[in-house]
Structures are given as C-alpha cells and as structure tokens.
Amino acid sequence: MAGAKPKPEKLSSVDYHPPSQSWMDVPPNVRPGTFNWAANPANAAYLDLPHVRKWQPTDEDWKLPDNWQQIVLEGLADRLQKYRSLKLFMDICVRCGACADKCHFFLGSGDPKNMPVLRAELLRSVYRRDFTTAGKILGKLAGARPLTPQVIKEWFLYFYQCTECRRCSVFCPYGIDTAEITMMGRELLNSIGLGIDWITTPAANCFRTGNHLGIQPHGFKDSLDFAVDELAEITGVRVEAPINRKGAEILFVSPSADYFASPHYYTLLGYLALFHEIGLDYTWSAYASEGGNFGLFHSSDMMKRLNAKIYAEARRLGVKWILGGECGHMWRVLHQYMDTMNGPADFLEEPVSPITGTKFDHARATKMVHICEFTSDLIANGKLKLEKSRNDNVRVTFHDSCNPARAMGLLDEPRYCIDHACNHFFEMPENTIREQTFCCGSGSGIGTDENFEMRMRGGFPRANAVKYVHEIHGVNMLACICAIDKATLPPLLEFWVPGVEVCGVHELIGNALVMKGEHRVSDLRGEPLPGQAGADGEGAADQPAEKEVSKDV
C-alpha cells in the first residue's frame, strides 16, 4: 500500500497559505496517501469501459489514448449540451470565495485546489479556452489554459479528492454544485480510461452479482441466514429473512455492506427484528441486493446500469412498493435519479404502510420509502414498544449523512427515531449538522487505504465536531444512516477521537425494541443489555452507569 500511516499530530498542522505563484503554475503533486489506485483492467473490461489498460497514478506516463484531447473536448461539448447545470456553473461563478472554507478537504489539507471554486476552475479554465471567445483571445488573462497531460493529472487528483457531498452548494449564492462539476470531470476522466479501482471494481461486482463485494447469491443467503441465527441467539426470537419471494408486499433494498461489514451488521439485525415484530410482508432480493450505487461516482450511464435492477426486480417479484435501508448515495440515486432514469414505476402502487395505513404520498411517483420515514411513522402511531433505557450505555450524537441531508432533506425522521430509542442524545454544533453537515471524508468511492491520509484530512471537520460533544457531553456513539459512513467513520474517529463508536439508527431501534416472546440479556453487539431487570441483568445495569459517571467529568 502507500507506506506507513501518518499520525494525528502530523496531519493536524494545516497551512492555509497558498503558494506565491499562480495556481496554473503549480503542478499536481501525486504523493502517496492522497490518491487512489487505477482501475483493475479486468473489471474495467467487464463493464465495457473504454481504453482499458494497465497504468498507475504514480507512473510518469499515463498511457493516454492517442486522441485523448479530442475525446475529452468532445465529451465536454456533449455534456454542455446535455446538462444545463454544467453550462451554467461554467459561466456564472463570481469567485466570491464563500465556498472556500466550506469544503472538508480544504479545511483538512489547506490545499487551495480543494477550495470548491478552484476545483471547478480546473475544468472552467479548459472550458474558457475551448468554448468561449474571451478565453480564445485573451488566454491566461481570462483564466483560460490549454488541455495538457498535466491538467489531466490535476483533474485526476482533485476530482478524486472531492466526495460530491454538496456542502459548498449550500453556501453558494447561485447554488453552484461542485458535485455536478466533479461528476462531469470524472466522466471525462473515465472516457480516457482514468478510473479508480475502488469505484470500478465494486461497480463491476454490483453489475455482475448484485453487491459490491461480488458475493454470489448463495453467499448472500448465507449472510442473512447467519444473521437470523445470531438474532435468535440474542433475542430468543427466530425471524424470517425471505429472499426473492414473489408476491411479497414490499421489496427491501439496503446497501450490501449491511450484510457483510461491521458495524453495519448490527443495523441489519435491527431491520430483521423490526420487520419481524411488525409482521411485515416483505422480501429481500439477491439480484437487487445492493442499493449503494458506485455508478454515481463513475458516470450517469453506470449509475443507471446499476440502478436498473431495483425496478426490474420489483416488477418481477410483483411487490407493491420498495423500502430502502440506511444508505447515503443509494438514497441520493433513489431520490433524485431513479424514477427519471429507470421509471416510470407505474407497475407499483403508491406506498401505504401496511401497519399504520399511512400513505407516503410524498413518494407516490417513485414508490420508494426510506426506512427512517417508515419507522418514525410506526413510532408516531404507537406500533412499537421501545425501551429507551436499553440504550443507556450509549450517549449518542447523530451524523447527518451528506446525501440524505442535502439531496433529500431527510433531517428530522432519523432524529425522531433516535429520540424514541435512547435517553441520551446530544447534537453536535449547528454549523456541522443538518444541511451544514460535514462529510466523513471518504464518500464517493475514495474510501481506500492508499488514500488514508486524505481521508483523515477530509474527515477532520466531522471528527472535530464529534470531539466537541465527546468532551462536553461524554458522547461515545455516533449514529448515522449511510453505509460508507459506517465503514469509514470508525477509522476516522479512532484516528481523531478515540472512544467514540459508530452505529446505525436501526441498531438503536433494534436494541430498544421489545419483541414478543423475547428473552434478551445482550444488545445486538452481544454486549450486556442495560436496563434489563432480568435474572442476570444486575451486572449489566451497573456497567453503563459507571461509564456515564466517568464520561461526565
């Protein structure tokens, strides 16, 4: 990999002073720890991607195809025709700088090219030179520059140092969305064979098997069966996890990390307990076993190719509507793109909760409901018996995952669930939550080990806010509703704020949920369950109390 991992002391001194020369004269520095390895050629070929070859960002020569400039410029022209957003955002930025210190990568690295305005200028400078009169005539004076291999290296470095979190867009007076720029930049890079492996390989796996690790259908079934066994051991209640069951009322789609990764897995146990308790008529699908969409990080076409499975499977299974699990980008795609790309979903019915009768009329076109919407409706209608004290071992804060927050406006539903599942909830400072939430620093397919330094830098603002509530309120658990968060926040917090763990909202729900016929002495992680006055509950009840006292100092 990329050598020894840096220490927090090293990454915490950030120099915000830009170099003295013009940014156009500062060459990109492809240094270990700040970039991702190139796409594995076999997986790129499996997806029929263009210009598949062996290369690495550390190579001097990236072996660009002969007509690479033509491909990029024609690709840019094509996208300007297809996306008003791109055309507009190329023209109207006034470089006021309001976005500059809103990007977690800039705050954590001090690299001026991570200011969203300058990240976009990397593309705008080429646009000006080849698509505007002023740029053609005045050149560098008008902020224009020719497309050189160095520019391409710069694009590669900085478009893969953006997590498309859209925080900058909240503060921009024109709503310029750097994610749109980054997405186009990545499409152009991919058009000349410059993809990264932690996007291409998961995308190829999702395309082939249905999930990003490439687990085959029987492996998927094994995972769910194992979870059912484990839940039975913890709760004494044996639930069902039907797969590919035709005629179920609801198709449930979650990020595949939920069934192989930790701490996601505890959220999966939470879903299973919840669905059993309310007697939901639902099914999982092995074919559409991934909601997380690595195509979003690659290109519009790839996003559509991967997403197509969900509606196709809903149609095949004959379900009425689709419920979606805790995932960030998955929900961005489901909410903003899916119906447009792969709809209309006229073979489905408008979602109605079979338990409460609530009509989710805000989802009447796409027929997809977020699990936090679904569960908070169950709670509001008194359908769940939740024992909050069972989560008394945790002092929780909530990380608004970027996409549900800034691309859906799903802010209060998860909070409502948490409020009803635990006694100790504390908000982080207001500049760092809700629509102003900070990214984990590893989203959009750049959460790899070789990129470790940049991830820790990018995640620093998030961790800093967690550290605040950790110190003030003794917070020891960060709840979130995104699979990438659950994968990448634990190492981030271990690096910057040791002592805070990460969980899903439905893990908290699963712990608090009082199930009929249950016998529980441990929580979903297998640790003693607080607040249980059972035979062996005494010791369990003591332990968290001690914890709280020590944290409150």
Partner 1 sequence: MRALFSLSVVAVVVLLTIAAVATSGGRFFVGTILPYAAIATFLVGMIYRVLHWARSPVPFKITTTCGQQRSLSWIKHDNLESPHNLWGVLGRMALEVLFFRSLFRNTKAELKDGPRLVYGDARWLWLGGLAFHWSFLVIFVRHFKFFVEPVPGWVSGIQELDGFFQIGLPIFYITDGILLAAITYLFFRRVVNPQLRYLSLAGDYFPLLLIGGLATSGVIMRHTSLRVDITDVKLLATGLISLDPVVPESLGAVFFVHLTMLSVLLLYFPFSKLVHMAGVFFSPTRNMSNNNREQRHINPWNYPVKVHTYEEWEDEFRDVMKAADMPLEKDVETK
Residues 451-510 that bind partner 1 (CB under 8 A): 460-461, 464-465, 467
Give the residue among 333, 266, 291 at the shortest CA–CA distance from 523.
266
Q: Which stretch binds partner 1 (CB under 8 A): 187-195, 205-213, 502-510, 527-535?
A: 205-213
In the complex, least distance from residue 330 CB atom to partner 1, rounded to whole angstroms: 14
Give the residue among 222, 197, 219, 223 at the shortest CA–CA distance from 209.
219
In the complex, least distance from residue 138 CB atom to partner 1, rounded to whole angstroms: 8
User: Which residues neighbour 102 within 8 Å (Cβ) at sequence distance 6 or greater?
Assistant: 116, 167, 168, 170, 171
In the complex, least distance from residue 32 CB atom to partner 1, rounded to whole angstroms: 23
SS3 for 89-140 is: HHHCCCCCCCCHHHCHHHHHHCCHHHCHHHHHHHHHHHHHHHHCHHHHHHHH
In the complex, least distance from residue 305 CB atom to partner 1, rounded to whole angstroms: 5
Q: Total residues at the site for partner 1 (CB under 8 A)?
A: 118
Q: Which is nearer to partner 1, 364 or 551 (CB)?
A: 364
In the complex, least distance from residue 369 CB atom to partner 1, rounded to whole angstroms: 9
Neighbour tally for 63: CB within 10 Å: 12
Question: Please, what is the Cα angle at 365 between 380 and 377, to 5 degrees?
Answer: 5
In the complex, least distance from residue 121 CB atom to partner 1, rounded to whole angstroms: 7
d(CA 307, CA 301): 10
Q: Which is nearer to partner 1, 93 or 152 (CB)?
A: 93
In the complex, least distance from residue 499 CB atom to partner 1, rounded to whole angstroms: 16
Neighbour tally for 42: CB within 10 Å: 11
Of residues 100, 268, 269, 484, which one binds partner 1 by CB under 8 A?
100
Neighbour tally for 17: CB within 10 Å: 7
Q: Which is nearer to partner 1, 15 or 61 (CB)?
A: 15
Q: Which is nearer to partner 1, 401 or 448 (CB)?
A: 401
- Asked if 210 interacts with partner 1 (CB under 8 A), we say yes
Of residues 161, 191, 205, 209, which one binds partner 1 by CB under 8 A?
209
Of residues 64, 76, 115, 203, which one binds partner 1 by CB under 8 A?
115
Q: Which of residues 316-335 bind partner 1 (CB under 8 A)?
A: 316, 335
Neighbour tally for 58: CB within 10 Å: 12
d(CA 304, CA 290): 13
- Asked if 25 interacts with partner 1 (CB under 8 A), we say no
User: Which residues neighbour 173 within 8 Å (Cβ) at sequence distance 6 or greater?
Assistant: 94, 96, 98
Q: Which of residues 161-200 bind partner 1 (CB under 8 A)?
A: 166, 169-177, 180
- Asked if 550 interacts with partner 1 (CB under 8 A), we say no
Q: What is the number of H-type helices and E-type strands within the chain?
A: 24, 7
Give the residue among 190, 172, 157 at the shortest CA–CA distance from 89.
172
Q: Which is nearer to partner 1, 243 or 521 (CB)?
A: 243
Binding mask 240-279 for partner 1 (x = CB under 8 A): ---xxxx---------------------------------
In the complex, least distance from residue 487 CB atom to partner 1, rounded to whole angstroms: 23
250-253 and 321-324 as β-strands: parallel, antiparallel, unpaired? parallel
- Asked if 134 interacts with partner 1 (CB under 8 A), we say yes
Q: Which is nearer to partner 1, 355 or 521 (CB)?
A: 355
Of residues 111, 187, 277, 373, which one binds partner 1 by CB under 8 A?
373
Q: Which is nearer to partner 1, 361 or 538 (CB)?
A: 361
Encode burial over 276-291: b for 16+ CB neighbours within 10 A, e otherwise.
Answer: bbbebebbbbbbbbbb
Q: Which is nearer to partner 1, 44 or 115 (CB)?
A: 115
Residue 242 exposed, middle or buried by CB count within 10 Å (0-12, 13-18, 19+) = middle
Of residues 436, 494, 521, 543, which one binds partner 1 by CB under 8 A?
436
Q: Which of residues 35-54 bind partner 1 (CB under 8 A)?
A: 48
Q: Which of residues 333-372 bind partner 1 (CB under 8 A)?
A: 335-337, 339-341, 343-344, 358, 360-366, 368
The separation between CA 507 and the C-alpha centre of its own chain, rounded to angstroms, equals 18
Q: Which stretch binds partner 1 (CB under 8 A): 33-41, 117-125, 259-267, 268-276?
A: 117-125
Q: Which of residues 76-95 bind partner 1 (CB under 8 A)?
A: 80-88, 91-95
Could you list the beta-strand ranges (E) of 205-327.
250-253, 282-283, 321-324
Q: Which of residues 276-305 bind partner 1 (CB under 8 A)?
A: 286-287, 300-301, 304-305
In the complex, least distance from residue 275 CB atom to partner 1, rounded to whole angstroms: 19
Whether the link from the prior residue into 65 is cis, omega within 30° of 0, is no
d(CA 443, CA 548): 32
DSSP per-residue string spanning 34-93 = SS-PBPPHHHHHHTT-SS-----TTSS-----TTHHHHHHHHHHHHHHH-HHHHHHHH--
Binding mask 376-415 for partner 1 (x = CB under 8 A): xx--x------------------------xxxxxxxxx--
Q: Are 307 and 379 in contact (CB under 8 A)?
A: no
Tokens coding 267:
């959220």
Binding mask 5-24 for partner 1 (x = CB under 8 A): -------xxx-xxxx---x-
Give the residue among 205, 222, 234 at the shortest CA–CA distance from 294.
205
Q: Which is nearer to partner 1, 220 or 275 (CB)?
A: 220
- Asked if 229 interacts with partner 1 (CB under 8 A), we say no
User: Which residues neighbour 155 within 8 Å (Cβ) at sequence distance 6 or greater?
Assistant: 122, 123, 185, 188, 189
Q: Which stretch binds partner 1 (CB under 8 A): 49-57, 152-160, 216-224, 250-258?
A: 216-224
Of residues 2, 117, 199, 422, which one binds partner 1 by CB under 8 A?
117
